[in-house]
Amino acid sequence: METGLGIRQENLKESIIINPETNEKIVKKGDLEFPPRKVWMKTFGCQMNHHDSERILHHLKDLNFSATSELDEADLVLFNTCAVRDLSNNKFYSQLGEIKHAKKKKNGLIVGIGGCVAQTEGKELVKKYDHLDFAFGTDVIDTINDMVFRVYAGDSKFTINSWDRSENFSIETKISHETPQAFVNIIKGCNKYCSYCIVPYTRGKERSRLKNEVVEDVKKLVEYQGVQEVMLLGQNVNSYGKDNGESLAELLIDLDQINGLELVRYTTSHPYDVSDELIAVHGSAKKLSKHLHLPVQSGSNTVLERMLREYTVEHYLGLLEKLRKAQPEIVLSTDIIVGFVNETESEFQATLDLLDSAQFDSIYSYAYSLRNKTRAAKMVDNLSDDVRGERLRYLQKYQLGIQEKIRAKLPGTEHRVLVEGFGTMGGIKKWRGRTNCNRVVHFLPESEEQNLKWNWVDVKITSATALSCQGELLNVHGRRVLQ
Ligand code: SF4
């Protein structure tokens, strides 16, 4: 069978041999031998990209690569790129430039780029940058080993960015770490074509995995890999199942039955696809997080129309009301794009008004930046970047005031958190955990030596600001919560 790489797939099976003298593992693939090597990978952008990177690293293990954070040690450098925002795009280009020197210093260093930028601009970049060996799009990451093989076989300067056209979107989750948290991709692509967004062009049409496949996948993660918390991923995650007659609500009900699974989160949702069934599940599913991130983008109906968002502010606020009724403890967050094409003062004011009405616990806010190939790129835009910057700063300050008031009610409340790590604050080591409703809490351990990583603990919030919560450790449940 052809892989699309111009190489016969039966030649590409990996097998393992052990060097009798050094006892070193060697992987054989086709005519080539792969001794242990290192891959340095830099990921930009969203959780989907981070999840894809995990998948890539998992595959590369089969080709005898292990991950390194030291660029000097790397035999293979991979960038997983993001085309959604200027900031990550600029960072990627500056790092790609720096890698040129690393390649000059190290003979045989291979450099590849994947992700959204590679999907749309891979060919041009491979042509433009001499030190770039190959580029690969978002739908071919599962063939990474064949691509790396191809470069080692002497054939570089290629781009593979074809779309997967198989009937079903079917994958098994691959994780390359041993933690109780896992990303699970349930739908890829997006059919919405919001006027500012490049994602439908970089990730293609929506395609959902079958519900039973996802449920079996999660059961295996729980049973064999100790996973306790899953984040269901999709560019438009609550559109899940529209292409095959299933739904996110039904999937969440099934996942709620899995023994040993403690918590289910999902992201990112579109308000248009929040169904009444899904809202009801927020009230009934025991394992579903009491946090929902629901991007609104603007509080002005005229801006939402220009953005092609397919809902009004009134509809959005109605959804929040229904969600809060179904699940009174729900905590809501959102995304805001400030300064969309020709945004007027009064349209901006409408977004501030929405922040007052919605009472979000947190927001991610950005100044609009033009993305080539999108519909908004064709609109004549008279708003200056200075005005955008000013409005963004004002909005962020405004929201912090709201958050401060919301969080002032938290001291005294008790929460079960999964401890994710620790940090040093003012020279004092504090552990950090995430509540069911996605707030991060910092707290002191019982002793310097106590290792709480990946333990479930109970904490009482002692103080809270707009941006962080401090707590007091009450109980340690260990790595599993006993039911
Ligand atoms: S729904 Fe999200 S991913 Fe899809 S086009 Fe709109 S902003 Fe982009």
149 CA distance to ligand 1 middle (Å): 35
The confidence score (pLDDT) of residue 10 equals: 45
The confidence score (pLDDT) of residue 177 equals: 77
222 has a pLDDT exceeding 80: yes
User: Is the minimum distance from the CB of 89 to ligand 1 under 6 angstroms?
Assistant: no
Query: What residues form DSSP beta bridges with 185?
Result: 233
48 CA distance to ligand 1 middle (Å): 13
Note whether 369 and 421 are same-domain residues.
Answer: no
Q: Is residue 399 part of a domain?
A: yes
- What does the DSSP 8-state code read for residue 377? G
| Amino acid (1-letter code) at residue 396 | Q
The confidence score (pLDDT) of residue 1 equals: 36
Q: Is residue 115 part of a domain?
A: yes
9 has a pLDDT exceeding 80: no
Residues 95-115: what's their mean pLDDT? 93
Record the tokens describing residue 84, joined without a space: 């959604």
Note whether 336 and 379 are same-domain residues.
Answer: yes
Record the tokens describing residue 184, joined without a space: 């699970």
Would you say 291 and 265 are in contact if contact means Cβ atoms under 8 Å apart? yes
Q: Is residue 26 part of a domain?
A: yes
Note whether 204 and 336 are same-domain residues.
Answer: yes
Select the more confidently predicted residue: 163 or 391.
Answer: 391
Note whether 382 and 445 are same-domain residues.
Answer: no
191 CA distance to ligand 1 middle (Å): 8
Rounded-to-integer distance, Cα 224 and Cα 294, Å: 32
> Residue 79 sits in a domain of what CATH number?
3.40.50.12160
User: Is the minimum distance from the CB of 194 to ligand 1 under 6 angstroms?
Assistant: yes
Note whether 67 and 187 are same-domain residues.
Answer: no
How many other C-beta atoms lie within 10 A of the C-beta of residue 21?
6
| Amino acid (1-letter code) at residue 92 | F
Percent of the chain predicted with pLDDT > 70 = 97
Note whether 19 and 145 are same-domain residues.
Answer: yes
Give all strands of the β-sheet with 181-185 in edge-to-edge order: 181-185, 229-233, 263-267
User: Is the minimum distance from the CB of 388 to ligand 1 under 6 angstroms?
Assistant: no
Give 101's contacts (C-beta < 8 A, 6+ positions apart).
none
User: Is the minimum distance from the CB of 190 to ligand 1 under 6 angstroms?
Assistant: yes
Query: What residues form DSSP beta bridges with 370?
Result: none
Domain boundary among 407, 437, 466: 407
77 CA distance to ligand 1 middle (Å): 30
> Residue 457 sits in a domain of what CATH number?
2.40.50.140
Domain boundary among 368, 386, 407: 407
Pocket probe for ligand 1: among 195, 196, 199, the residue whose CB has the most ligand atoms within 8 Å is 199
In 3D, which of 453, 8, 219 has the Cα closest to residue 445? 453
235 CA distance to ligand 1 middle (Å): 7
The confidence score (pLDDT) of residue 2 equals: 39
197 CA distance to ligand 1 middle (Å): 6
Helix (H), strand (E) at residue 366: strand 362-367
Q: Is residue 437 part of a domain?
A: yes
Pocket probe for ligand 1: among 192, 202, 273, the residue whose CB has the most ligand atoms within 8 Å is 192
For 59-175, strand residue ranges (E) read 65-67, 76-81, 110-115, 134-136, 158-160
Percent of the chain predicted with pLDDT > 90 = 84
pLDDT tens figures, 337-378: 999 999 999 999 999 999 999 999 999 999 999 999 999 999
Q: What is the SS3 assignment for 71?
A: helix
The confidence score (pLDDT) of residue 66 equals: 96
In 3D, which of 332, 357, 362, 373 has the Cα closest to residue 116? 373
User: Is the minimum distance from the CB of 204 to ligand 1 under 6 angstroms?
Assistant: no
Query: In the structure, what pLDDT confidence band is assigned to residue 12 with cuts at 50, 70 and 90?
Result: low
Task: Locate the ligand 1 atom nearest the alpha carbon of residue 191 and give its number.
Answer: 4
Q: What is the residue range of 49's domain?
A: 9-160
Query: What residues form DSSP beta bridges with 245?
Result: none
In 3D, which of 262, 270, 254 has the Cα closest to residue 228? 262
Note whether 23 and 136 are same-domain residues.
Answer: yes
Query: In the structure, what pLDDT confidence band is assigned to residue 4 with cuts at 50, 70 and 90?
Result: very low
Note whether 60 and 185 are same-domain residues.
Answer: no
Query: In the structure, what pLDDT confidence band is assigned to residue 237 with cuts at 50, 70 and 90?
Result: very high
Whether cis (ω within 30° of 0) applies to the bond prior to 138 is no
Question: Cα dist. 77→59, 138, 143, 159, 312 in Å?
Answer: 15, 17, 16, 16, 45
Task: Give the least confident one: 160-169, 297-306, 442-451.
Answer: 160-169
Note whether 60 and 153 are same-domain residues.
Answer: yes
Rounded-to-integer distance, Cα 44 and Cα 276, Å: 34
User: Is the minimum distance from the CB of 60 to ligand 1 under 6 angstroms?
Assistant: no
462 has a pLDDT exceeding 50: yes
126 CA distance to ligand 1 middle (Å): 28
319 CA distance to ligand 1 middle (Å): 19
Residues 206-228: what's their mean pLDDT? 96
Q: Is residue 171 part of a domain?
A: no
pLDDT tens figures, 65-75: 999 999 999 99
Domain boundary among 367, 391, 407: 407
Q: Is residue 174 part of a domain?
A: no
393 CA distance to ligand 1 middle (Å): 24
User: Is the minimum distance from the CB of 200 to ligand 1 under 6 angstroms?
Assistant: yes
Note whether 265 and 377 are same-domain residues.
Answer: yes
Mean pLDDT for the chain overall: 93
Q: What is the SS3 assignment for 356?
A: helix
Q: Is residue 122 part of a domain?
A: yes
Across 94-107, b (16+ Cβ under 10 Å) vs e yields eebeebeebbeeee
The confidence score (pLDDT) of residue 88 equals: 80
Number of domains the chain is built from: 3
Rounded-to-integer distance, Cα 385 and Cα 192, Å: 27
Question: Cα dist. 105→40, 154, 352, 353 in Å?
Answer: 15, 20, 52, 55
The confidence score (pLDDT) of residue 23 equals: 84
Query: In the structure, what pLDDT confidence band is assigned to residue 17 with cuts at 50, 70 and 90?
Result: confident
Query: In the structure, what pLDDT confidence band is assigned to residue 414 with cuts at 50, 70 and 90?
Result: very high
